[in-house]
Amino acid sequence: MTITGEWTPADTDCSQKMDWVTYKATDTYQQIGWGSRYDGTLPGSTYVGSCEGKSGPMSGFSAEYKDSLRKLTEVQMQAFERGSGWFMWAWKMENSDDWSYQAGLEGGWIPRTLGASGRKHGDQCA
């Protein structure tokens, strides 16, 4: 039995800084969100693109970005449902709507009806 857990529709690591959360990286504690590989602000990373409009509140997301999140969500759900199921990373994220199931339902990139009948982009895993 394979269950996929801790996935997200977010296609970048542009999540905003969370001052109240830390993790131990090597021998020092760092705040989560102290740099992004996507925009090259994480030490040792290379710039891929701008984080503008790719994380934070959904009010900053374009319709095109929301549609790309929807397509990525649907294809991940389809793939994971070929196993024994899935659960997403978080119901609610305080500062990164692209990581939030609740915000995704509200913003339309997570389908309210699961399964084939809720898919906007059809079967992408055929």
Q: What is the pLDDT of residues 106-122, one digit of tens each?
A: 999 999 988 888 889 98
Q: What is the pLDDT of residues 57-86, one digit of tens each?
A: 999 999 999 999 999 999 999 999 888 888
Q: Is pLDDT of 103 > 60? A: yes
Whether the Cβ atoms of residue 61 and residue 9 lie closer than 8 Å to each other: no
Nearest to 30 by CA among 21, 41, 39: 21
Q: What is the pLDDT of residues 6-57, one digit of tens each?
A: 889 998 888 766 555 555 555 555 555 567 889 988 888 899 999 999 998 9
